[in-house]
Chains A and B, each alone.
Chain A
C-alpha cells in the first residue's frame, strides 16, 4: 500500500502521515486499500483525500451459505458460518415471522413451512456494502473535524473527499478529479 501526504506545512505533513498510517493499520479493510493520497492546506483551507481500493469478491446468496435438511414439520436450515447466521436469521424472520422460525442450535434454524425461491435468492453478504461502511469510517477518522463542508466523488474503485470550512471551490474539485485519474 502506498501513502503520500502533501502539504505546504511541513510539520503538519509529518503529523498527518502518522495519523493516517495509524488509522489504516487499525482498519479491518487495510488489505483492500491500494493507495492513499492526502493533501491539506490550512491557508485555503482545504483537505483532499483520495483512496484507491480493490473490490471484494461477489455477493453471497442464501442458497450458497445454507444447506437444507427436511424434517417432519418443516425444514432445517444449516449455516456453519458464525458471521452470517444473524443475517440468515433476519431474512427468515422477515419472511416467516418469529413464531415460525426457531433456532435449534448454534448452526441450525428450524422453519415451519416451505422455503421459497425468493428466500433462496436473497443476498446474505454483500462485500461492497461492508467495504463502503469501513471506508466511510476511515474517512471520518482522517478528515479534520472542523472541515464540515464535504463533497464525495466516487468512481469505480476510487473515492475522493474534498473537505473545507468554506464553500467548495471549483479548482479543488478539478484538482481532486485530476488526481483520481492520474493515480499516485
Chain B
C-alpha cells in the first residue's frame, strides 16, 4: 500500500474516492476547504498508474504522504499571544502537508529553565500520540537542561529542535539551528530546516511502523469497520472523527457511552475487544483503540 495525498476540486471527487475503494484502498482522512478537497488515502502499489490517470482527468494534484496514518504531537513550552506567530505553527503545518495528523500541545508550565515541567496530564496526553516533536529555544544552557527534564516521562519516540548544537539523549532525533524564530518561515534556509524536521519525524515513524507492520489487521481497516458498524460517528463535529494512528485508532466518541459497542465491532471473524485494547483517552469524549499483542 502506498500513502498519497489528493488535492483537487470538489467536483466529481466522489468518483475518485470510489476508485480508491474499488482498487481495495482506504481513505484515511478527507478535508474540505471551500471548493478544494484534500484526501489522504492508501492504494495498492500495482494500481498506482490507474489512480494517476484518474487524478489527471480530474485535474488534481497527487503527492506522496510519507507520514500518512500517524498522529504527531507538536509540543511547545508556551503559546502566548505576545510571541505570535510561533515557529510551531510552521512546523505543524509542514508535517500536515506530509500527511500527518498533528496536534499542538501548549504546556502550562513549560517556560523557563528551572521552572519548566510537564504535568501528569500533559505527559499522558503526549504519550497517546505516535511521535512527539519538542520545540525548544535559543540558549545552550536552557535547551540542554530542559531536554532531559521534559523527555523524562515520555515513552514514545521523540524529535527535538533548538538553536544550539547539543548532544541529545539517546533515541531522540535532534535538529539544530531551529530555535525561537519570530515571524514566518520565509527564507530558503528556514524551509530546509522544516524539511530536516520532517525527515527526522519520518525516521521515527518508520521505526514504529516496522513494529506494528506485523499485526494482521491494519489500523485503517479498523477505521473503516468502525465507520460501517457505528453510524453515530458521522454526527461527530470533529474534522477527523476517527484518527488513524500507527498503533491503532482514536475514536472521537465518549468511552462511557460507546465503549462496549466499539468492543463489539466485528473485524473478520473476531471481536475488536478481543484483539485490541479499548480504553478511554485522557481527552474527554474520546476513546483509544490500541492493537494488542504485537510486542
A residues at B contact (CB < 8 Å): 7, 9, 11-12, 14-16, 18-19, 22-23, 26, 40, 42-43, 45, 137, 140-141, 144-148, 165-166
Contact = CB atoms under 8 A, between A and B. Distances in A.
Interface residue tally of chain B, by bracket? 20 to 34
A145 B138 contact: no
Interface stretch (B24-32, B180-188, B252-260): B180-188
A42 B142 contact: yes
A145 B179 contact: no
Contacts of A11: 138-140, 163-165
13 contacts: A9-B141, A11-B163, A16-B138, A19-B181, A137-B82, A140-B82, A141-B82, A145-B77, A145-B82, A145-B83, A145-B111, A165-B112, A165-B113
Nearest to B182: A22
Contacts of A18: 181-182
A12 B115 contact: no
Main secondary structure of the interface of B (DSSP, over half): loop
B78 interface: yes
B114 interface: yes
A27 to B, nearest CB: 11
B137 interface: yes
Contact of B163 (A15, A144, A145): A15
Nearest to B82: A140
Nearest to B166: A11
Given A12-B163, A146-B113, A165-B114, A141 B139 contact: no
B34 interface: no
B164 A146 contact: no
Contacts of B111: 144-146, 148
Nearest to B138: A15
B35 interface: no
B10 to A, nearest CB: 37
A22 B180 CA distance: 12
Contacts of B180: 15, 19
A9 B139 contact: yes
A146 B179 CA distance: 15
A148 B78 CA distance: 13
B51 interface: no
B140 A9 contact: yes
A141 B81 CA distance: 9
Given A11-B165, A18-B181, A145 B80 contact: yes
